[in-house]
């Protein structure tokens, strides 16, 4: 394991990814009590692989705490396009947190905030002491890339990551991490259901930010824009402002946290007992091998 390497796991991202990767077959892997476990199975694959890949000394798992946050108060339509979680997934939410606890990894979440905000807060709090790696499938988190903070975006299949760091970010995105908020402000986000400027896609947004660096500077120098873009800025001024606020991850969530609670203990006996007795996963070798230092 690497000294002073902190892994922050986006729990919701891994659980949803694990669920949908297996549920399309209709196999929900029911236990003896009739509780589905397919999301947990996928979560375990991704979770143990991240530990195997990044070899952390400390691990934290962050979660959303309900569907409503301060962003819903800011914009009524925020994520309004998303339906309810599948009924087969619902009982797996609490079990996933119990599973993380069995690994002696702290679960972190704050009511009224998203997991992203908790991830951002912890990453910024701890970056001076640790090299922080954030594992998620959510590219919104790219705005957090900084000195000592990298974001590993999960790609198709287990064990496949695209890692964004300060050193490679511009080469990969043609922008700086700080410009990601303005990028999403201009484009909007159909997944989170906020508007941006209608008709402005990624290509146009990147071109504007390369020229002006920030939305604020673009607005100050709007006279140099095309007439069409000036009209769009006037027409969608409110949408642009609210989209930029919604896109920004907060990094000052009220979290009292000690990194001592996140030391990776790798208690294979406790982990095995929970997997076999509580979740009824009896063939645990696929996960335990990833956690065995000698085989890592």
In a domain, 241, yes or no: yes
Residues 114 and 185 in one domain: no
In a domain, 156, yes or no: yes
Number of domains in the chain: 2
Residues 60 and 145 in one domain: yes
Residues 113 and 37 in one domain: yes
CATH number of the structural domain spanning residue 214:
1.10.150.20
Residues 266 and 126 in one domain: yes
DSSP secondary structure of 9-29: EEHHHHHHHHHHHHHTTT---
SS3 192: coil
Residues 136 and 166 in one domain: yes
In a domain, 292, yes or no: no
CB atoms within 10 A of CB 78: 20
Residues 190 and 82 in one domain: no
Residue 166, pLDDT score? 96
Residues 193 and 58 in one domain: no
Residues 214 and 90 in one domain: no
Residues 136 and 84 in one domain: yes
Residue 1, pLDDT score? 62
In a domain, 291, yes or no: no
The b-or-e profile of 185-221 (16+ CB within 10 A means b, else e) is bbbbbeebebbbbeebeeeebbebbeebeebeebeee
Q: How many CA atoms lie within 13 A of 245 on its CB side?
A: 13
Q: At what angle do helices 11-23 and 115-126 cross, to 10 degrees?
A: 130
What is the pTM assigned to this prediction?
0.94
- Residue numbers of the domain that contains 224: 177-247
pLDDT tens for each residue of the chain, 296 residues long: 667 999 999 999 999 999 998 887 778 889 898 899 999 999 999 999 999 999 999 999 999 998 889 999 999 888 888 888 899 999 999 999 999 999 999 999 999 999 999 999 999 999 999 999 999 999 999 999 999 999 999 998 778 899 999 999 999 999 999 999 999 999 999 889 998 999 999 999 999 999 999 999 999 999 999 999 999 999 999 999 999 999 999 999 999 899 999 999 989 999 999 999 999 998 999 899 998 863 44
> Per the structure block, which two tokens stand in for 152?
């590993």
Residue 296, pLDDT score? 41
Residues 128 and 196 in one domain: no
Beta strand 149-154 pairing with 161-164: antiparallel
Residue 293, pLDDT score? 60
Residues 99 and 156 in one domain: yes
Residues 167 and 209 in one domain: no
How many helices and strands, by DSSP H and E, does the chain display? 13, 6
SS3 107: strand
CATH number of the structural domain spanning residue 165:
3.40.50.1010
Q: Is 89 left (phi over 0), alpha (psi -120 to 50) or beta?
A: alpha
In a domain, 294, yes or no: no
* Residues 6+ positions from 142 with CB-CB distance below 8 Å: 151, 153, 164, 169, 173, 177, 180
């Amino acid at each position: 394991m690497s000294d002073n390497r902190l892994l922050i796991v986006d729990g919701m991202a891994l659980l949803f990814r694990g669920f949908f990767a297996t549920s399309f077959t209709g196999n929900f892997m029911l236990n003896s009590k009739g509780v589905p476990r397919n999301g947990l199975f996928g979560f375990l694959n991704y979770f143990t692989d991240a530990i195997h890949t990044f070899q952390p000394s400390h691990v934290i798992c962050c979660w959303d705490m309900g569907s409503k946050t301060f962003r819903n108060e800011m914009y009524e339509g925020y994520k309004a396009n998303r339906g309810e979680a599948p009924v087969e997934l619902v009982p797996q939410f609490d079990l996933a947190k119990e599973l993380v606890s069995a690994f002696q990894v702290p679960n972190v979440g704050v009511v009224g905030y998203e997991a992203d905000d908790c991830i951002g807060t912890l990453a910024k709090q701890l970056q001076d002491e640790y090299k922080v790696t954030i594992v998620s499938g959510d590219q919104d988190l790219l705005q957090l890339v900084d000195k000592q903070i990298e974001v590993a975006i999960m790609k198709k299949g287990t064990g496949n990551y695209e890692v964004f760091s300060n050193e490679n970010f511009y080469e990969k995105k043609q922008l700086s991490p700080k410009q990601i908020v303005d990028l999403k402000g201009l484009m909007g986000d159909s997944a989170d259901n906020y508007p941006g400027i209608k008709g402005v896609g990624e290509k146009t947004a990147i071109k504007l930010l390369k020229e002006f660096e920030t939305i604020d500077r673009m607005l100050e120098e709007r006279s140099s824009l095309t007439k069409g873009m000036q009209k769009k800025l006037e027409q969608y001024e409110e949408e642009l402002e609210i989209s930029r606020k919604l896109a920004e991850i907060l990094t000052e969530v009220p979290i009292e946290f000690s990194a001592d609670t996140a030391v990776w203990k790798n208690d294979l006996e406790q982990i095995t007992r929970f997997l076999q007795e509580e979740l009824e996963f009896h063939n645990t070798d696929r996960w335990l091998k990833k956690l065995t230092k000698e085989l890592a």
